[in-house]
Amino acid sequence: MHRPSTLASRPSALPGGRAAPSTQSATLRLLEKRQEWEAIAALDEATEEIVKSLEQLAAQGNIMADGGRAVASVMNNWPNVLRVISLFAKDSSGSAAVEAKEETAGDGELPRLVRIDANSLAQGN
């Protein structure tokens, strides 16, 4: 919707070189609009920076999610690992030996995870 311009019917300057009141108000309005435009341009730049930051944050979140899946996979395997360890930790004396091994592990020694009978290896050769 365009309305016809009334600019041609208005005098742009009064005699004596002074600007007409309508020209002064138009100039003021133009300055206000320019300031608004500059403010909007600044907001646009700030918005672009925020979008870039959020995209980087999303990428980092995806990396963290992948790491979380890896940790979950490892955690899901622990019951099986512990079951295998307990099978190998049992010896002829039963569970008392397992408890004794767990108590000595806290004294600076590393717990024995796999038991290999050296005698059976020597006989197999």
Q: Which pTM value belongs to this model?
A: 0.41
pLDDT of residue 113: 60
Query: Is residue 70 situated within a structural domain?
Result: yes
Task: Of 33, 34, 13, 16, give the one whose Cα is nearest residue 24.
Answer: 13
- Host H or E run for residue 118: helix 118-124
For residues 104 and 22, the model is more confident at: 22
Distance CA 83, CA 105 (A): 18
Query: Is residue 17 situated within a structural domain?
Result: no
Q: Is the pLDDT of residue 109 over 80?
A: no
Query: Is residue 77 situated within a structural domain?
Result: yes
pLDDT-based confidence at residue 53 (cuts at 50, 70, 90): very high
Residues in the chain: 125
pLDDT of residue 92: 42
pLDDT-based confidence at residue 8 (cuts at 50, 70, 90): low
Domain housing 85: 25-92
Query: Is residue 63 situated within a structural domain?
Result: yes
Domain count across the chain: 1
pLDDT of residue 107: 53
Distance CA 117, CA 123 (A): 10
